[in-house]
């Protein structure tokens, strides 16, 4: 039954992708859904983009190891989206297409666009690889976690995105976030009710924890702030300069809709991410001695839930993965086709919309294949997500946010902040320590200082 549900779900999503292709008349339709998203579709699209399979399985894994402190991974993302809402209106009003488009228009020059396009393509390939890892984890629940099954499912995602573009993603996001929410919440309710027979949620888990029980149920965990920062800060900073989130912002019908959609999406993320956290914690009551924490949620779903609910949870997680994957793929494709080819390599030539659409689909396919290769050589979902996010935000967040908020900032400041942020992020990831400053914050701090100093030194008040 479970495998049947998965196959039917994937076929329906693929069919929607082909159906949505009729709305793709050009690049604006393909990468921005014609800029016609209302508040409902925009907010659900933003939440669905962020609530990926990496969130669900990664939270389950970390919660099994550390308790409810893992929820900071979700809280950070939700707060980041809410903060992004305060920037969204101004960005949407510019009628741009991509983040590189914004940076070139804001700062001038011709260097920013290709640099950011390539960086985003690379980092989003890494994030997409984490979604493929999550796919493998989901399929392993029903014994389909082989490389072949994972690749086939990932190819379905790629074909769906290549054919339907953002129109397909938008149409299915509304359905997928509802499926994801219902599936994850229903799973927790079922587990919670089952634990009532063995003493309740807390007591059933405590009995297997010993001395660590108190910190396991504390949102502050063991009191290790560096761990909380590691969980929350990358996810908080990412949407402030996240090309996938700005894609949804730019697809909104107007500035006010974009702003409100970010706020609603942020609240949805904070609420939704609590449930996979609680499920990961609950796994201790049933499987107290797992050597591999990543198996906590799969074991819980496969051995504790009834078959119909197992199928629903599987569809929920795949829905979350598919939505995020589509966003990553369409952003990467737009960076190559629009920013690199149309606006950089053939800048002085007028390109046909249909040709750009064709290039976008080729770029999307290449990105998908590369992400599959990266996924095959990676392990640890949250580690992979945080690694690429630290690199991406280290270079991007200050030029983007600073460019929106500070009119005095110029091209020299933007480029200086970008390069120093990338270098600082790379040094942090390589293990270089800078006193007590967490690596997740170091690159942003350095980039901010350079941005302010260069702006003040090269402009007049």
pTM of the entire structure? 0.85
- Give the model's pLDDT for residue 347: 81
Q: DSSP character for 68?
A: G
Q: Is the pLDDT of residue 319 over 90?
A: no
> Does the CA dihedral 155-46-393-378 come out positive or negative?
negative
Question: Which 3 state secondary structure label does DSSP give 362?
Answer: helix
DSSP-H helix ranges across 291-380 = 296-303, 307-334, 353-376
Domains in the chain: boundaries: 2-379
The better pLDDT of the pair 432, 72 is held by 72
The pLDDT tens digits for 352-361 are 777 888 888 8
Question: Which 3 state secondary structure label does DSSP give 38?
Answer: coil
Question: Mean pLDDT across the chain, nearest whole number?
Answer: 85
pLDDT classification of 436: cutoffs 50, 70, 90: low
- Give the model's pLDDT for residue 90: 92
pLDDT classification of 383: cutoffs 50, 70, 90: low
The mean pLDDT value for 230-253 works out to: 88
The pLDDT tens digits for 205-219 are 887 777 677 889 999
The contacts of residue 46 (CB under 8 Å, 6+ apart) are: 81, 245, 248, 249, 261, 262, 264, 265
Among 258, 300, 309, 255, residue whose Cα is nearest residue 281: 300
pLDDT classification of 1: cutoffs 50, 70, 90: low
pLDDT classification of 367: cutoffs 50, 70, 90: very high
d(CA 25, CA 44): 24
Among 278, 286, 291, residue whose Cα is nearest residue 305: 286
CATH topology of domain 2-379: Sodium/glucose cotransporter (1.20.1730)
pLDDT classification of 411: cutoffs 50, 70, 90: very high
Q: Say if residues 431 and 454 touch (Cβ distance below 8 Å).
A: no
Q: Phi, psi at residue 252, to the nearest 5°? A: -70, 155
- Give the model's pLDDT for residue 410: 95
In the chain, % of residues over pLDDT 70? 95
């Amino acid at each position: 039954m479970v495998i049947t549900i998965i196959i039917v779900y994937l076929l329906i999503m693929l069919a929607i992708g082909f159906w949505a292709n009729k709305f793709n008349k050009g690049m604006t339709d393909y990468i921005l859904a014609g800029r016609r998203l209302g508040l409902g579709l925009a907010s659900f699209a933003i939440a669905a983009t962020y609530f990926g399979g990496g969130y669900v399985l990664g939270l389950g894994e970390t919660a099994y190891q550390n308790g409810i402190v893992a929820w900071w991974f979700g809280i950070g993302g939700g707060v980041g989206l809410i903060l992004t809402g305060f920037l969204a209106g101004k960005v949407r009003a510019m009628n741009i297409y991509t983040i590189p488009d914004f940076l070139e228009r804001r700062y001038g020059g011709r260097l920013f666009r290709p640099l950011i396009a390539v960086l985003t393509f690379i980092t989003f390939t890494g994030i997409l690889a984490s979604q493929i890892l999550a796919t493998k984890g989901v399929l392993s629940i029903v014994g389909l976690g082989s490389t072949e099954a994972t690749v086939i499912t990932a190819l379905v995602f790629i074909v769906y995105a290549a054919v339907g573009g953002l129109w397909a993603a938008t149409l299915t996001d509304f359905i997928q976030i509802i499926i994801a929410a219902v599936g994850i919440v229903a799973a927790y309710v079922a587990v919670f009710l089952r634990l009532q027979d063995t003493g309740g949620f807390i007591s059933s888990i405590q009995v297997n924890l010993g001395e660590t029980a108190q910190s396991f149920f504390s949102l502050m965990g063991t009191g290790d702030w560096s761990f909380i920062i590691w969980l929350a800060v990358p996810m908080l900073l990412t949407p402030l300069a996240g090309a996938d989130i700005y894609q949804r912002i730019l697809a909104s019908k107007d500035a006010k809709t974009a702003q409100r959609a970010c706020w609603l999406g942020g609240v949805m993320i904070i609420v939704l991410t609590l449930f996979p956290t609680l499920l990961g914690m609950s796994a201790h009551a049933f499987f107290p001695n797992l050597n591999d924490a990543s198996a906590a949620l799969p074991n819980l779903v496969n051995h504790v839930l009834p078959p119909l609910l197992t199928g629903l949870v599987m569809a929920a997680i795949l829905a979350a993965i598919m939505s995020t994957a589509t966003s990553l793929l369409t952003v990467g494709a737009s960076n190559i086709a629009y920013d690199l080819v149309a606006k950089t390599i053939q800048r002085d030539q007028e390109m046909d919309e249909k040709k750009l659409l064709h290039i976008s689909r080729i770029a999307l396919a290449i990105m998908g294949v590369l992400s599959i290769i990266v996924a095959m050589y990676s392990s640890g979902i949250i580690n992979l997500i945080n690694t690429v996010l630290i690199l991406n935000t280290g270079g991007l967040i200050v030029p983007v946010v600073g460019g929106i908020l500070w009119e005095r900032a110029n091209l020299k400041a933007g480029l200086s902040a970008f390069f120093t942020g990338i270098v600082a992020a790379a040094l942090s990831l390589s293990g270089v320590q800078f006193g007590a400053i967490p690596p997740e914050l170091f690159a942003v701090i350095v980039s901010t200082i350079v941005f302010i100093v260069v702006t003040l030194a090269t402009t007049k008040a």
